[in-house]
Amino acid sequence: MANNSLDSYVPPNAIPTTVLPESLNSISLSLQLFFCLVMASILLFALLGNMVVCLMVYQRSAMRSAINLLLASLAFADMMLAIFSMPFTLVTVMTINWVFGEVFCRVSAMLFWFFAVGGVAVLLIISIDRFLIIVQKQDKLSPQKAKVLIVVTWGIAFFFSFPLAVGSLGLQVPPRAPQCVFGYSPKPASHAYVLLLMLVSFFLPFLVMLYTFMGILNTIRHNTARIHSHPGRNQASTLGLLSLEKPFQININVSFKTRAFATILILFTVFTVCWAPFTAYCVVSTFNYEFYHKNSFFQFSTWVLWLCYLKSALNPIIYYCRIKKFRDACLELIPKYFKFLHQLPGTTKRHIQPRAVYICERD
């Protein structure tokens, strides 16, 4: 057990590298295998799924609308997390030891928060864009403006995450946790930085997105009430089909404007469920000495990181299930890169490509 006094505390400006006793970070073999299998699956889905999303937007000019560029930027952030963070967490869970050194500890923490803050900022822009379209009736986000906003968000993310690479700021080298995390620190500077980072990465975006979604839901409810109380609806009951045209057009208009909102709402829900525990964990581990030095801290850290990474794997699945353009482009893209898939028969090919009928072969 760790001593409850601050005598055993190592100042944050000298990151501790001494391997802790095994009892402080040991987990059962079955739980370790479970964590490894789950993280490997999340890594695979997050990498391949988000890579397909980025590839579709990059290769197809028809997919480069403002909203699709923002979704591609979000997919890029999730893909980079899968490349620069998840593999090292997986290795640390397998070995119960950080083998990548102190310098890379700081760099990995900086990259983790860089892509995390960038992805959250993009999701915030998408939510505000839906709010302006549905509530304010303003559709001013062009692809050019979307590109500018993407560059600005990544600049803001770099501004808030770069201090992790040049200073420890309470970072602790594993094996107490499966990656570099914020450990207990009595210094006010570390407390202020952690609170600021949590405010930017979760609390402020959550509150703003919650406000936009409540406004959108209120507008949708108001529009639905107007449709049901429309005079043409009452006349339709007595005049048959003569008055159905106008209410039907109103329903289609509302559906068109709110179709993308449902997808963004699902992304917001997944973000909240996956990131709220991790945010609370970072704050408590920074301010609470007893919590950070518990024997079960490694297991708890692995659980919240597993949940945090799950968002990156679920997002491309949400795109595929909810957005028809992404689904159709994905179905066309997969046969292009996987030649071993079932090929179309010759007759079908002639129906799809009539010029195939005129192909002549020499003996």
Nearest in space to 111 (alpha carbons), one of 149, 161, 152, 75:
161
Residues forming a β-bridge with 181: 172
How long a stretch of residues is the chain?
Answer: 363
Query: Which DSSP letter does residue 10 get?
Result: P
Structure-model confidence comparison of residues 61 and 315, the more confident one: 315
Whole-number Å distance between alpha carbons of 115 and 311: 13
Whole-number Å distance between alpha carbons of 214 and 101: 46
Q: Is the pLDDT of residue 243 over 50?
A: no
Burial (0-12, 13-18, 19+ Cβ within 10 Å), 226: exposed
Residues forming a β-bridge with 171: 182
Domains, the chain, ranges and CATH? 26-358 (1.20.1070.10)
Six token digits for residue 334: 């997969």
pLDDT band for 269, please (50, 70, 90 cuts): very high
The SS3 call for residue 182 is strand
pLDDT tens profile 17-32: 434 444 445 678 888 8
Six token digits for residue 358: 């005129």
Six token digits for residue 178: 């499966």
Residue 163: partners with Cβ closer than 8 Å, 6 or more residues away: 169, 193
Neighbours of 266 (CB within 10 A): 15
Q: What is the mean pLDDT of residues 289-297?
A: 87
Six token digits for residue 245: 């045209």
Q: Render the burial of 293-324: b for 16+ CB within 10 Å, e for the rest.
A: bbeebbbebbbbbbbbbbbbbbbbebbbebbe
pLDDT tens profile 341-363: 444 444 444 444 444 333 444 44
Residues forming a β-bridge with 182: 171
> What proportion of the chain, given as a percentage, has pLDDT over 90?
39
pLDDT score for 335: 60
**Angle (deg, nearest 10), helices 66-84 and 101-134:** 160
pLDDT tens profile 79-104: 999 999 999 999 988 888 888 888 88
Whole-number Å distance between alpha carbons of 84 and 65: 28
Six token digits for residue 180: 């570099």
Q: Is the pLDDT of residue 4 over 80?
A: no
pLDDT band for 126, please (50, 70, 90 cuts): very high
Calculate the alpha carbon distances from 27 to 91, 166, 176, 178 in Å. Answer: 15, 32, 12, 12
pTM above 0.75, yes or no: yes
Nearest in space to 24 (alpha carbons), one of 168, 172, 197, 167:
172
